[in-house]
Structure 1
Amino acid sequence: MPEQPGPRTLDLPGGAVTLAGALDVERTATGFVPRRLPAWTRPRITDPYMRLMVPRPAGVRLVLRTDADALELDVFVTRFRNAHFPLFPVEFDAVVGGTRVVSRPARRGDLCVVRAGEVAGTEPGEPETIRFDGLGTGWKDVEVWLPQAAVVELRALRADGTVTPGRPPRRKWVHYGSSISHCAEAGGPTRTWPARVARSAGLDLTSLAFAGNCHLDPFVARTIRDLPADVITLKVAVNVQNLDSLKVRTFGPVLHGFLDTVRDGHPHTPLLVVSPIFCPTAEHRAGPTVQDATGRYVAKGDTSPSALSLVRMRELIEEVVAVRADGDPRLAYLDGRSLFGAADAGDLYDGLHPNADGYRRIGERFHERVFGPSGLWPQPGSTPE
């Protein structure tokens, strides 16, 4: 009998595979690392913690169409664990035919321990192969979602069948946010709330969610301005409170400036501004908000009426949107507490971040209020997950 051909190695990036959700790639000696901001932003990123966030591929996926029953992805994964808590699952998810999700863990790469936004130590690891098998031999669409809270160096992709480029959904959604949108604790890349919403609404997600680093940076506004988008959402302010990086005097003008830049490129695109979800320690107190000895986040700042607490920030965000609304009918505001409020506080595992169940509810509520059949901007074919 003739010898059966072995798996084919495919070119990455490009070739027969579409890389969705990434705006840049960093070449290495052994592969490449997807990045979520364009190359021109690199010298503008001055904060070390932000440099750690841009290559963490939330929303980044390999999109292909194939008749292969098995795919193998050679990777080197850098995982990150908060010094106060166990490592959250680091998973690769293959979405097959738009519905079936096959998850595979990453276990062998570097493990970095993070304390106060800095890497305090690293346990070196090794490369590994992530294998998805039993996909079925018929033609189907496959998306391989990369771990949202790790850094992934992609080295090779092999398939035991034919592969052609996949097509992400036609309508494009750009979302900007903090760790509450980055969702390190969600359990897997398709279980972050933006990923859940994008899949339910049939949208091509570009996630600009940067844990600890949603500070209304001008280079992010310019990035959004220049991206194709059918809808844009901005979930802002909690990181400003966390680091006490702006004051009442400056927060409103900075938000106006961010919106001005986005509107320069998208004068009529639906644009939603979402205020922070509920956070007990920061509702009536300014930042900084820091971890105590147990790992819980505690706000340490001022409680006066002039303090930039979450209550005050929601008022300022709503005022900014209201002032602009007369001349901008496609601009809207959503109170973040409608997504996760005081009744949900039991799912804040560290006093600030939701657990996996909390993120699932945020996704369900966001979909219903924004993209669902009775939402702000219903999407064709949108169905609850």
Structure 2
Amino acid sequence: MKGLQKITLLGQLTTCLLVLSFHAVMAQTPSSYKYKRAEELTMIGKAFANKQFYHRIDTADYPDLPTPVKSLLTHSAGLAIAFKTNSTAIAAKWQTSARKPSANMTAIAFEGLDLYIKKDGKWQFAGVGKPTNDTTEAVVVQHMDSGEKECLLYLPLYDEVTNVSIGIDETGSIVALPDPFKKKIALYGSSIVQGASASRPGLAYPARLSRETGLNFINLGVSGNAKMEKATADMLAMIDADAFVLDCIPNSSPQEIEERTAYLIRTIRAHHPEAPIVMIQTLIREHGYFDQVVGNKTRDQNSMITQQIESLQKEINNLYFIKGDDLLGTDHEGTTDGTHPNDLGFDRMLQVIKPFLTTHLPIAGQIR
């Protein structure tokens, strides 16, 4: 019996040592890495080459923009850091504002990071940076091979970022990757464009469009405030874009649609005589099937934008229209809260929007 007890104790000790060894290997900490500031790498997703590295728009250049729009454009939705590295692990340090995630967003989407690495010629999800505080240091992915990898690290959708650094092995290298996306398509819209309620930053639909088409979609979602104001229209028209996609109807009242659509479209066309312009109806809000006020407003919004676009198409060339009836599918499972698409809903939106854009935008064929 004593011999059996010794064998049992020895086995237990061996198991404990193996477990401890496993955890020691797994518990690589961010401090084990050397860091490079994101400013030394490539920022993608910008409308302009502005002075504010982590802001989508330098709003000081557009003082007439509505105050909420200015604030929302400081959020880093659609921005990503592009780099190449041979490191076997990638870590990150990043700092955001003191804002806390909203009820319909994951913390990762709201103020976390999302890493994609190119594999077999396609961008593939590789890991996330989970936020813990306003300043976070975390390992995003580890235990990779030491070959050179092309990487995209997406920044938070709904928070202002002030600093980002990328961590790699002490013996590894990291260099800027040229922007992997071609041309420039300005995508202006609501919280849905900004990314609510994707589970990760890279799953916002402008980011998915870029990875899946190779075109450079610029995320200009301004949550709740895509109302086609004159100052916003003037700012959009100044973007040196090859095409414009307008998904702003969810935030605009029927009266605003009637009063503002023509100015927005005509202003863009005046500065971009040949650029395709695509307007998208609002998607059908799921709770509107029961809430009659919501349902009626959605119908009125879509009816009014249909009238406006059909009228404008008589005078403006290359103006296109995507209807919203089928954007979420038909099983009523495509939203988080009745309004904002979940990942399933965004996927269904892509099945409608992507083939339309690749068919109607001549630039889509130019990058193949």
Same fold judged by TM-score > 0.5?
yes
Cα deviation 1:237-292 (Å, max 9, x = unaligned)? 21124xxxxx53x5323111111221122110111000100025558xxxxxxxxx
**2:210 paired with 1:189:** no
What is the Cα deviation at residue 331 of structure 1? 0.7
Partner of 1:3: none
**C-alpha contact (below 8 Å) 1:194/1:363 kept by paired residues:** no
C-alpha spacing 1:129/1:263, structure 2 compared with 1 (3 Å): same
Q: Percent identity?
A: 19
One-letter identity of the residue aligned with 1:268: E
C-alpha spacing 1:56/1:128, structure 2 compared with 1 (3 Å): same
One-letter identity of the residue aligned with 1:255: T
1:257 alignment partner, SS class = helix
**C-alpha contact (below 8 Å) 1:75/1:127 kept by paired residues:** yes
Partner of 1:19: 43
One-letter identity of the residue aligned with 1:197: L
1:255 alignment partner, SS class = helix
Q: Which moved more, 1:254-263 or 1:314-323?
A: 314-323
What is the Cα deviation at residue 35 of structure 1? 1.3
C-alpha spacing 1:299/1:82, structure 2 compared with 1 (3 Å): farther
Q: How many residues align?
A: 327
1:56 to 68, 71, 75: 75
Cα distance in 1 between the residues matched to 2:283 and 2:177: 38
Partner of 1:108: 132
Cα distance in 1 between the residues matched to 2:37 and 2:137: 18
Cα distance in 2 between the residues matched to 1:377 and 1:202: 13
**2:36 paired with 1:10:** yes
2:349 to 333, 358, 362: 362
Cα distance in 1 between the residues matched to 2:50 and 2:360: 38
2:151 to 111, 117, 142: 142
Q: Which moved more, 1:197-206 or 1:132-141?
A: 132-141
- TM-score (normalised: structure 2): 0.77
2:360 to 362, 365, 376: 376
Partner of 1:230: 242
Partner of 1:331: 319
**C-alpha contact (below 8 Å) 1:57/1:151 kept by paired residues:** yes
One-letter identity of the residue aligned with 2:74: P
Cα distance in 1 between the residues matched to 2:144 and 2:242: 32
C-alpha spacing 1:298/1:45, structure 2 compared with 1 (3 Å): farther
1:351 to 329, 338, 355: 338
What is the Cα deviation at residue 359 of structure 1? 1.3
**C-alpha contact (below 8 Å) 1:22/1:34 kept by paired residues:** no
Cα distance in 1 between the residues matched to 2:295 and 2:242: 40
One-letter identity of the residue aligned with 1:94: L
Structure with greater proportional strand content: 1
C-alpha spacing 1:206/1:61, structure 2 compared with 1 (3 Å): same
Cα distance in 2 between the residues matched to 1:168 and 1:150: 25
1:71 to 72, 90, 94: 90
2:275 alignment partner, SS class = coil
Cα distance in 2 between the residues matched to 1:356 and 1:52: 26
Q: Which moved more, 1:319-328 or 1:259-268?
A: 319-328
Alignment of 1:121-270 (within 5 A): 126-134=135-143, 136-159=145-168, 160-241=172-253, 248=255, 250-270=256-276
One-letter identity of the residue aligned with 1:326: K
Q: Which has the larger radius of gyration?
A: 2
One-letter identity of the residue aligned with 1:273: M
**2:334 paired with 1:315:** no
Cα distance in 2 between the residues matched to 1:164 and 1:322: 45
**2:280 paired with 1:274:** yes
One-letter identity of the residue aligned with 1:264: A
- TM-score (normalised: structure 1): 0.74
Cα deviation 1:279-337 (Å, max 9, x = unaligned)? 25558xxxxxxxxxxxxx9675896xxxxx22222222222222222332311111122
**C-alpha contact (below 8 Å) 2:333/2:345 kept by paired residues:** no
Partner of 1:113: none
Cα distance in 2 between the residues matched to 1:128 and 1:276: 39
Q: Which moved more, 1:53-62 or 1:153-162?
A: 153-162
Coordinate RMSD, CA, aligned: 3.2
List gaps (5 residues or longer) in structure 2.
Answer: 1-31
1:127 alignment partner, SS class = strand
Structure with greater proportional helix content: 2
**C-alpha contact (below 8 Å) 1:23/1:35 kept by paired residues:** no
List gaps (5 residues or longer) in structure 1.
Answer: 1-5, 111-125, 242-246, 284-296, 304-308
Cα distance in 1 between the residues matched to 2:49 and 2:89: 26
What is the Cα deviation at residue 381 of structure 1? 8.7
**C-alpha contact (below 8 Å) 2:156/2:201 kept by paired residues:** yes
What is the Cα deviation at residue 344 of structure 1? 4.2
Cα distance in 2 between the residues matched to 1:302 and 1:207: 27
